[in-house]
Amino acid sequence: MIRNQRPFLFTVGFVCLLVLVLSPQAYGQGLFLAGLALTLLSCLPAVLLPWRRFASMMYWLIPLLQFAAIAALRAGGNGYLVGLSLVVVFPVIWLAWFMPRSLAVHIINFTATSFIVILPILLGQGSASFSLEDLAGRAIIPVILTVIGLFAANVSRSIDAQQQELVDKDRQLRLAAAESERRAQLLNTVIETVPVGVVVVDAEGHDMMMNSHQRELHQIGVPREVPDPREDQLLVFGEDKTTPLPAEERPVRRAVKGSSFTHQLIWLGDQRHRRALSVSANSMKDREGSSTGSVIVFSDVTELVEALEVKDEFLQAMSHELRTPLTSILGYIDLVLEEAESLPAAESLCANLQVAERNASRLLQMVTDLLTTAARPALKVREADLAEVVHSSVASARLQADAAGVTLIDGVGPSLRGRFDPDRMHQVVDNLISNAIKYSAAGATVSVDAWHEDRSLHITVTDTGQGISERDQREIFEKFFRTEEARDSAAPGIGLGLNIIKHIVDDHHGSIRVTSEPGRGSTFTVTIPVQ
Ligand code: ADP
């Protein structure tokens, strides 16, 4: 802080030199010497005392000592040092600068500077007198210096405010930096903790981030002969485990092209190490909506897929085993029925046998459904007539409709030709009509329609039955799903029919949808493309 005293010391030193040359007798003056001593004394606190501890005291002490020094030097200078009054600008600015909000500072500045200019009059030196003219001439100095003090206080305040603003901004920046570091750490921890592989790619497909789980998964897909493969060289297979997935169907490529998807099932790696992965991707967009990259998540579902395969194999084996004795039971019941007619009490015997036959048929239907779900046989596509398929399905459902008191309307024209698997489509129409009758009360109407439009064949089965709630509509195509109404009703079923239909329609690259209103009925629409 002695640095701050340098201008004052330098100016006083310069004045002392002038006095030495022009008026050396001043050095014999007690007041002048006292002034010199006070000048030195004003520097001592800054040299001797630790600034930090005594700062508030020194802000006052140093300028007050300097005021006293200037007063003594000026008065002891025998009128040679009138200009010395200007040195008072240093303590004035000092006080105003360091204590810009204190009113006392300006009062001190005015009083001290007034005292300095009036002291020679009080001491009766030279031509100094109490005349109004002399006083007015001298008063200009304290006024100017006080104004300078006010100005300095103002500048100091605005610099303070700017500094405070800078400090605030700096603090905010530090906080923001700390927060973003915390978020990055959190994100990193989450990404490393989740038991899935995560990779983030930019719009060009370059990896921006990859967690360790994904690095391990990636290694499984690396072919032995290509240690650093391109994406299309990785061992990625489709659902059948053997067909390599075409480059444009690979999840990373799809994601880079901007598509978002969920649960794409792929097999990664060679036969010995392969894993089933369910892949989902979400594309990232900037404010303008253009793609900035994608987040792709790989979840290992090998155990689940294998368990499902075992379950399907079990279902397939069981239903296969059950079909043979059931078919034989039905055959023998038919034989007995034929012969029973000639026996005494034939009527009740036949009625009992028909109950047994109905239940055995139902059981056979369930077993066949189970087998179809598990095996999903391949389509046998050929040129066929959908109208014929519908007419035949309606004809076979007629008995069921009559028994249920439901009116069955066949609104299909004479011919609707196209390439499809007629047996499987028969199954679709049979099932939809059977459901429509099953889930309708007596008096309801079921109508079947089919037509050709936009290179597709369309079939609708509409009923005025119990309907399906919106929530259930989303689930009815799932395996084993039955609505609460269906479970509560006596309608037989195990919730496989619609799932089987969906697979058949999917295999034809078609679609099936339902519109329904509870209590009012449902419409199932099947569309299959035909060239
Ligand atoms: P299910 O053997 O139970 O009939 P489906 O897979 O054919 O099995 O049908 C699944 C469920 O969808 C049924 O249990 C029933 O709750 C509902 N459902 C299907 N068709 C209709 C319909 N036409 N009207 C009302 N509910 C239906």
Q: Which of 368, 406, 470, 476 to mutate to test the pocket of ligand 1 (most atoms within 8 A of CB)?
A: 476
Within 8 A by CB and 6+ apart from 350, the residues are: 337, 340, 341
Residue nearest to atom 12 of ligand 1 (CA): 476
pLDDT above 70: residue 409: yes
pLDDT in tens, 73-96: 888 876 666 667 778 888 999 889
Residue nearest to atom 21 of ligand 1 (CA): 435
Residue nearest to atom 18 of ligand 1 (CA): 435
Taking the centre of ligand 1 as the mean of its atom positions, its distance from the CA of residue 368, in whole angstroms, is 17
Bigger pLDDT: 24 vs 461: 461
Q: Which residue has the tokens 């930090």?
A: 52
**Number of neighbours of residue 293 by Cβ within 10 angstroms:** 22
Task: With beta carbons less than 8 A apart as the criterion, state whether 478 and 437 touch.
Answer: no
By percentage, how much of the chain surpasses pLDDT 90? 44
Residue nearest to atom 13 of ligand 1 (CA): 482
pLDDT in tens, 27-55: 888 888 888 888 888 887 777 777 677 77
* Residue 60 pLDDT class (50, 70, 90 cuts): confident
pLDDT at 346: 78
Taking the centre of ligand 1 as the mean of its atom positions, its distance from the CA of residue 468, in whole angstroms, is 9
482 lines ligand 1 (CB under 6 A): yes
pLDDT at 520: 95
- Token pair belonging to 60: 């006052």
Taking the centre of ligand 1 as the mean of its atom positions, its distance from the CA of residue 372, in whole angstroms, is 17
pLDDT in tens, 91-117: 999 889 988 898 999 999 999 998 888
Q: Give me the sign of the Cα torsion angle 253, 256, 258, 259.
A: positive
Please report the atom of ligand 1 found closest to the CA of residue 466.
25
Q: What does the alpha-carbon distance between residue 185 and residue 182 come to, in Å, rounded to a whole number?
A: 5
pLDDT at 472: 94
Bigger pLDDT: 331 vs 346: 331
Within 8 A by CB and 6+ apart from 487, the residues are: none
Average pLDDT, integer, range 438-455: 95
Taking the centre of ligand 1 as the mean of its atom positions, its distance from the CA of residue 480, in whole angstroms, is 10
Long-range contacts of 402-406 (CB under 8 A, 24+ apart): 404/437, 404/438, 404/440, 404/442, 405/441, 405/442, 405/443, 406/437, 406/440, 406/442, 406/443, 406/444, 406/445, 406/446, 406/463
Distance of CA 283 to the CA centre of its chain: 11
465 lines ligand 1 (CB under 6 A): yes
> Helix crossing, 497-507 with 346-375: angle to 10°?
50
pLDDT in tens, 230-268: 888 899 999 888 889 998 899 999 998 888 898 899 999
pLDDT at 126: 59
498 lines ligand 1 (CB under 6 A): yes
3-state secondary structure at position 509: coil
pLDDT at 82: 67
Q: List, in sequence order, every residue forming a beta bridge with 261; answer none if it has no partner.
A: 281
Taking the centre of ligand 1 as the mean of its atom positions, its distance from the CA of residue 355, in whole angstroms, is 24
pLDDT in tens, 159-198: 999 999 999 999 999 999 999 999 999 999 999 999 999 9
Distance of CA 244 to the CA centre of its chain: 33
Lowest mean pLDDT among 59-63, 75-79, 309-313: 75-79
pLDDT above 70: residue 127: no
Average pLDDT, integer, range 365-373: 81
pLDDT at 36: 87
Q: What does the alpha-carbon distance between residue 258 and residue 253 come to, in Å, rounded to a whole number?
A: 9
* Residue 119 pLDDT class (50, 70, 90 cuts): confident
**What element of type H or E holds 299?**
strand 291-300
Q: Give me the sign of the Cα torsion angle 230, 236, 238, 240.
A: positive
Average per-residue pLDDT for the chain:
88
Q: Where are the alpha helices (DSSP H) in 194-301?
A: 212-220, 251-256
Q: Which of 362, 433, 435, 526 to mutate to test the pocket of ligand 1 (most atoms within 8 A of CB)?
A: 435
DSSP 127-173: T----HHHHHHHHHHHHHHHHHHHHHHHHHHHHHHHHHHHHHHHHHH
pLDDT at 428: 95
pLDDT in tens, 496-507: 899 989 999 999
3-state secondary structure at position 37: helix
Q: What angle do CA 417, 422, 424 make, to 5 degrees?
A: 140
Q: List, in sequence order, every residue forming a beta bridge with 453; answer none if it has no partner.
A: 456
pLDDT at 128: 56
pLDDT above 80: residue 525: yes
Q: What does the alpha-carbon distance between residue 38 and residue 112 come to, in Å, rounded to a whole number?
A: 15
466 lines ligand 1 (CB under 6 A): yes
